[in-house]
Homo-oligomer: A and B are copies of this chain.
């Protein structure tokens, strides 16, 4: 009564299992690292939450540091892909910039983003690469996208901008001005949609007032 049903698995069934197990480990580890920081996260706790044994955990990630690096890598990758920013050159610049600000503020004020930022900053002293990797994969990429748009808008005569990179940096940081610092320091917990909109509009207003 043995049916050969599973059709696909010539490319290895072990590999599949292994990959999904790896993901499961990273899920648990990421949650713990983001929630408690590096030092307060214990391998024992991760193994316990996984249900498996310690030996298995170590067979996937031979040290806590390597596990941490893998978590960081995955987290920034997810950030990167989610910055599918909607800066449409066909829109009038007010609309495009306002839309970007809202999306950006919403993104960076999510609890996971805040936790990631905290984690990176907290560990960037002990692991200097952490800060560099994060910077290159999150803020630098966003800035580049915004700068490209702004340069185009300047060419089309829609905005008066000399240094697009500088302007992009100013715009993104304006989006951080109010709530973000308070989130980072733990004075606020959950952003409401109204707060996000207000924050984004304030940033866009100032920017457009200066460069419009």
Are B122 and A118 neighbours in the complex by a CB distance under 8 Å?
yes
**Complex contacts, A43 vs chain B, CB 8 Å:** none
How many chain A residues touch B (CB < 8 A): the figure is 41
Tell me which of B120, B125, B210 contacts A209 (CB under 8 A): B210
Interface of A, secondary structure class, is: helix
Contact with B along A159-188 (1 / 0, CB 8 A): 000000010011001101110011011110
- Bound Cα distance A134, B186 (Å): 11
Task: Pick from A20-28, A34-42, A147-155 the stretch touching chain B.
Answer: A34-42
**Complex contacts, A14 vs chain B, CB 8 Å:** none
A126 at the interface (CB under 8 A from B): yes
Chosen A-B contacts, 30 in total, with CB atoms closer than 8 Å, are A39-B39, A39-B40, A115-B125, A118-B122, A118-B124, A121-B184, A121-B185, A122-B123, A124-B184, A124-B185, A125-B186, A131-B185, A131-B186, A131-B187, A132-B185, A132-B186, A135-B185, A139-B181, A170-B174, A170-B202, A170-B206, A173-B173, A173-B174, A174-B177, A176-B176, A206-B210, A209-B209, A209-B210, A209-B211, A210-B210
